[in-house]
Structure 1
Amino acid sequence: MTQASQTQAPVAHRQSAARSRGTRGFALLAWIVALSCLLPMVAVGIAALTGGVETISHLADTVLPRYARTTVYLVLLVSLGTFSIGVGAAWLVTMTRFPGVRFFEVALVLPLAFPAYVLAYAYTFLLDHPGIVQSTLRDVTGWGPRDYWFPEIRSLGGAALMLVLVLYPYVYLLARAAFLQQSSSAFLAARALGDSSWRAFWRVSLPMARPAVASGVLLAVMETIADYGTVAYFGVQTFATGIYTSWFSLGDRGGAAQLALCLLGFALMLAVAERVSRGKARYHHAGKQQAALPPATLSGGNVIAAWVLCALPVIFGFLVPLVSLTLMGLESEQNLLSSRYIAFIKNSLTLASMAALITLLAAVSLGFYQRLRPGKLSSTAANFSRLGYAVPGGVIAVGLMVPFAAFDNALDAWMRANFGIRTGLLVTGSIWLLVMAYVVRFMAAALGAYEGGQATVHANMDAAARSLGQSPFGMLRRVHLPILTPSLLTALLIVFVDVMKELPATLIMRPFNFDTLAVQAHRLAADERLEGAAVPSLVIMAVGLLPVILVCRQVRRRT
C-alpha cells in the first residue's frame, strides 16, 4: 500500500464516522419530536381510562349523545358545503372562461384569512335580533318582534355556514390543482362516447380528482371538529365545547380527558375511513398525451350564472365580514395603541414567533432524517409527528396539561418535603407548554411545506456533497437550506398565522394574565361587546392575509 493510500484511509474513516454521528444526531432529534407529538394522545388515553367508570357513565347518560349528535351533524353540513362550493368554483375557474375569471381565481382564496369565530362575530352584528338587518326590517315595515320570522344565526346551521365560508378554500385549492393536472384524453373520450359535459365531469373528471378533493374535505372536517370559538359563541354543544366546560366550569379533568378521547377517536376514525374508502384505487394518465383540457367559453346566461356562483362565496366569506368588522371597529372604544392592546399584540407575536421557529426546526430535523435514512423507521417518526393536525387543540391541551400538571405537583411536594421550597406550576404555569401544544398541532403543516421543497433537491446534490467530505449537518447547511429558503419561509409563515388564530389550546393553557388577541376577541364577544371584539379580530384577519397573498401568488404562477 502506498503512503498516499495509507494517509487517505484514516481520513475516509474519520469522514464516515462523522457522517454516522451526524445521522444518529438527526435520528435522535427526529424521534424526540415524534414522541413529543405522540405524548398528548397517549396521555389523553391514559387519563381517560383511569378516570373511573362513574364519570364516563354519567357523561353517556347526560351530555355525550348530544355532543356526538351535534358534532356529526356539523361535520356533515360542513362536508357538503365545502365540497359543493370548493369543487364547483374550482371547475368553473379552471375549465371555463368568462369575463372576470382571472379575478375569481384569486378572490376565491380570500376567505381563508378569517378564522370562523371572527365571521361569527361579524354576522351576529348584522343578523341577530338587534343587528342592522333586522332593525332596518322592523323600521321599514313597522313589524314588531313577533310579527315575522327570521333565520337564527346562533344555531347549528349558522355555525355550519360560518365554517363553510372560511374552509371551502381548502377544497377549492386542492381541487383546482387536480383539475389543472388532468389530461384531456379521458374527458374527451367520454364526450366521444356520448356523455354530456356534465355527465363526463361526474363520471371522469371528478373521480380522477377524488384524492385531492377528499384531502380538502378532510382538512375542512378536521378544522370543524377542532373549532371552539364559533360553536361556543353560538351556543352549539359539541365535543370541543364539552371539553372546555368540563375542564374549567365543572373542574372535572377526568371527564374532560374522556371527552377528549372521544373526540380524538372521532378524528382518527374520519381519517382512516377516508383512506380505507379510497382503497388501492390509483389514477394515472393513459399514454403519453398530457395536453390540458381546453377551457369552454361561456356566453349569455351561463356567464351570469358563473359570476353569481363565484361571487357569492367571496362576498359572504370576505367582503361582508370585512365591512361589518370595520364598521364595528369604528364604533368601538377600543384603542389599538393602548398599553393593554400593545400587550395583547406582543403576547400574540411572541407565541407565534417562538412556535413558528421551533416548529420549523423540528420539521427540518424530521424531513432531513427521512432524506438521510429513507425507510419505515423514519416514515413512522414523520407519521407520528403528523398526528397532531388531526387532533383538535383542546385535546392536545388536555393531553399536555394532565401529565405536566402531575409532574409539577409531584415536584412541588418533593421540594417542600426536602427543602421547604414551593416550586408551584413550574411547567404548566409557563408559556413553554403552550408553545409545545402549538408545535404538536401545526407540525404537519410545517413538515408538508418543507418536504414539498425538499423534493426539488436532486439526490445527486447529496452525493456530490458527501463526496466532498461534507457531514450531514454541513450538507443541510450548505446545500439544502439555501435551496429551500422559499419553502422554509412558507412553512414559517403558515405556522405563525395558524398560531395567531388558534383559540381552544390558548384558552386552556395560557398562563395567568397572559392574553392574546384571539383570547381578547373571544372574551369581548362572550360579553356581547361585539364592537370591541372587532378590533382584535381585524388584526387577526390582517395577519391571516399574509399566507393568503402567498397562496394567491402561487395560483397566479400556475395559470
Structure 2
Amino acid sequence: MSITKSAFRSLISLSGLLTLLACLPVFGLVWTALQGNNEIWDHLIRFVIPATLIDTFMLLFGVGFLTILIGTGSAWIVTAYQFRGRSILDWALLLPLAVPTYIIAYSYIDILHPIGPVQSLLRDGLGLDMQQLWFPNIRSVWGGIFLLSFVLYPYVYLSTRAMFLMQSASLIEVARSLGLNPNKVLLKVAIPLARPAIAVGTSLVLMETINDIGATEFLGINTLTLSIYSTWINQSDLASAAQIAIFMLMFITFLVLIERLGRQKQRYMNSAQRSRLMPARHITGRKALLLFGLGMIPVVIGFVIPFCHLIVESYKRIQYAGFSDSLLEASVNTLSLASVATFFTILIGFLIVSSARFSQNIWFSRIASLGYAIPGTVLAIGLMLSLGAIDHAIADFLEFKLGISTGLLLLGTSGILIYAYTVRFLAISIGSIESGYNRIHGVLDDAARNLGQNKRGILWRVHFPLLAPAILSAALLVFVDAMKELPATLLLRPINMETLATQLYAEASRGAYEDGAIAALLIVLVGLIPVILLARMGKTNR
C-alpha cells in the first residue's frame, strides 16, 4: 500500500501545526505585553528592572567566567595528560550534572548555616560563640556564583573536551617544537582553537543560570526571573510580568545566536582538522597526584559534598518520621507527569524531524526547538496567557451557545503542565533524533525504494529501527529533565498537587531543610542516569 501525496501533505501540515503549538506561548506573551499598563512599565523601568539587571548581570558574568575556568581547565587536564586516576576523572567530572541548581543551593545553605555542621565544628574547635565567629554569607550573589559554577561547569567541560580531542596532533607538536611549554600551548594554541566550543558550553550555562528560580530565591539573589515570578504571584500583574519576560527573552535570543554561531564555527574547524588526535603527556609522581587533586575539586564541591549531605539527612528523616505519604504522592505525580510528557515530546519530535527529512525543510524543527531557550517562568506565563484565552473562549461558547457550563478545561490541570514540559524539552527530542538521522545515509533510502518501499515503509521499517538508540537517549534525557523542572511546574501545577521539585521548594522556603532531603536525594539519584549514559557514550565515541 503506497503512501499518497495527500497523506504526505498531511504529515507536513501536522508538523506545521505542532510547531505552531510549540510557539503559542511566545505569541501569547507578546500580545499580553503589548496590552500592559505603561504607568506600571515606567515604574518597573525606574525601580525594579535596574536593580534586578545588576544582580542578573553580576550573576551571569561571574558564573560564565568561573565555569569557563573550571570547565576548560578540567577538560585540558584529562585530555593533555595521562596519569593514574585520569579514567576516573573522565566520568566523575560529569557527576555535578545530576545535581539541579536549586538542590546544590538547598544543600549548602543547610551545610553552611550558622547552626549547621561546618560552623558548629569551627566554633567548637576554636572555642568561639556564634557572634565571635565570622563566616562568609553563602546567601549572596557571590555565593550564587560559586555554587552555580560548580554545578554547571560540565556544559563547558563536555564541549571543550570534545574540541580538545579533535585538535590535530600536528598543531600541538609544532607548538612544542617551537619551545612552548604546556601552559603556553594551552593559552596560545588549544584555547583559541576551542573558542567556539567554549562559547557553546558557556551559552548553555548562561541559559540555565537565567532560567533558575529556586537557587536564586534560596540565596536571596533578585534576578529577572525572580522578578517575573514575584510580579505575577505577589502583585497579580500578568501584563507587567509579560513585559519583563519579553525583555528577558530578547537577552536569551542573543545567547542562542551566540550558541548557533559557535556551532557553525565548530563544524568548520572540525572538518579542517587531521584525523590524528592530540597526544597526551605521561605524568607520574607528585605532578600526577596534583593533577588528580585539581580535577577532583569541582567533583567534590559540585557533587560529593551535597550528595553525602542528602544521604545523611535523608537517613535521619526516615529514621525519625519514615517515608511520608505526601512524599509518596509527590513521587507518583512526578513519575506520571514526566512519563506522559516524555511520550508526547518524543512522538512530536519524531514527526517533525521525519517530515523535515522527507521534505528537506528544516524550518519546522528549528522553530520548534526554540522552546528550550525559553526560561520556564517565561514559558509558564506565555502558556497561561495563550491557553487562558483559548480556555475562556471555549467555556463561553459552550455556556452561551449550548447551555453547558464546563468551567476552565485547560488551566489548572495536569494537561497544561505536560504541554509546558513538551514545549520546553522538545529541542532535546529534535536534536537527538536529528543526530540519529545524520547517521542514516541517503543510500539506505534509495535501496529501500528500489525494493518497493514507499515513504511510510521507509519511515517505519528503515528509519525507526535505526533511530531507536537516539530515541531512547532522548527519552531518558527528557524524562529526567521533566522530573527536576521547577519554574514551570511551580507556576502551572494544579492546586494541591506537588512534585518532588515543588515539595523540595516548599520545604526549603519554610526553612525545613531536613524535610526536603529525601525529595532532593531522589531527584539526584534519577539525575545520575543520563550522566552515566553520557559517560558511556563518551567512551564509545573515543
Interval of TM-score (by shorter of Structure 1 and Structure 2):
over 0.9
Rg: which structure is higher? 1
Aligned to 1:347: 333
Alignment match of 2:107 (pick from 92, 101, 122): 122
Alignment match of 1:401 (pick from 378, 384, 391): 384
Determine the C-alpha separation between the residues in 1 that align with 2:321 and 2:466: 43
Deviation sequence 1:29-55 (CA, Å, 0-9, x none): 221222122221222111111112112
Aligned to 2:466: 483
Determine the C-alpha separation between the residues in 2 that align with 1:32 and 1:245: 33
1:370 matched to 2:388: no
Q: Which amino acid aligns with 1:422?
A: S
Determine the C-alpha separation between the residues in 1 that align with 2:7 and 2:321: 52
Determine the C-alpha separation between the residues in 2 that align with 1:515 and 1:466: 51
Residue-pair matches, total? 540
Report the CA distance between 1:279 and its aligned residue: 8.7
Determine the C-alpha separation between the residues in 2 that align with 1:63 and 1:467: 65
Native 8 Å contact 1:336 1:535 kept in 2: no
Change beyond 3 A, Cα 1:199–1:22? farther
Aligned to 1:203: 188
Native 8 Å contact 2:196 2:265 kept in 1: no
Native 8 Å contact 2:123 2:133 kept in 1: no
Change beyond 3 A, Cα 1:428–1:285? closer
Report the CA distance between 1:409 and its aligned residue: 2.6
Secondary structure of the structure 2 residue equivalent to 1:424: coil
Native 8 Å contact 2:24 2:386 kept in 1: no
Deviation sequence 1:166-225 (CA, Å, 0-9, x none): 211111111111111221122222233343332222222222222222111111111110
Structure 2 unaligned blocks of 5 or more: none
Identity rate of aligned residues, in percent?
A: 38
Native 8 Å contact 2:379 2:488 kept in 1: yes
Change beyond 3 A, Cα 1:380–1:256? same
Change beyond 3 A, Cα 1:81–1:311? same
Aligned to 2:308: 323
Change beyond 3 A, Cα 1:109–1:407? same
Please report the TM-score for the alignment, with normalisation by the length of structure 2: 0.95
Deviation sequence 1:292-316 (CA, Å, 0-9, x none): 1211112344223212211111111
Return 291-300 or 128-137, whichever deviates more: 291-300
1:214 matched to 2:199: yes
Secondary structure of the structure 1 residue equivalent to 2:134: coil
Determine the C-alpha separation between the residues in 1 that align with 2:539 and 2:529: 16
Return 96-105 or 140-149, whichever deviates more: 140-149
Secondary structure of the structure 2 residue equivalent to 1:484: helix
Aligned to 2:13: 28
Deviation sequence 1:486-542 (CA, Å, 0-9, x none): 111000000000000100000111111221110101000111110111110111111
Change beyond 3 A, Cα 1:90–1:245? same
Alignment match of 1:429 (pick from 402, 409, 412): 412
Determine the C-alpha separation between the residues in 2 that align with 1:285 and 1:252: 51
Determine the C-alpha separation between the residues in 2 that align with 1:388 and 1:280: 23
Change beyond 3 A, Cα 1:133–1:394? same
Aligned to 1:361: 347
Structure 1 unaligned blocks of 5 or more: 1-13
Report the aligned-residue RMSD.
Answer: 2.0
Determine the C-alpha separation between the residues in 2 that align with 1:173 and 1:276: 18
Determine the C-alpha separation between the residues in 2 that align with 1:273 and 1:181: 21
Determine the C-alpha separation between the residues in 2 that align with 1:255 and 1:98: 56
Return 132-141 or 517-526, whichever deviates more: 132-141
1:550 matched to 2:533: yes
Please report the TM-score for the alignment, with normalisation by the length of structure 1: 0.92
Secondary structure of the structure 1 residue equivalent to 2:344: helix
Secondary structure of the structure 2 residue equivalent to 1:62: helix
Alignment match of 2:34 (pick from 34, 49, 57): 49
Q: Which amino acid aligns with 1:440?
A: V
Aligned to 1:170: 155
Determine the C-alpha separation between the residues in 2 that align with 1:204 and 1:70: 35
Report the CA distance between 1:470 and its aligned residue: 2.4
Native 8 Å contact 1:108 1:310 kept in 2: yes
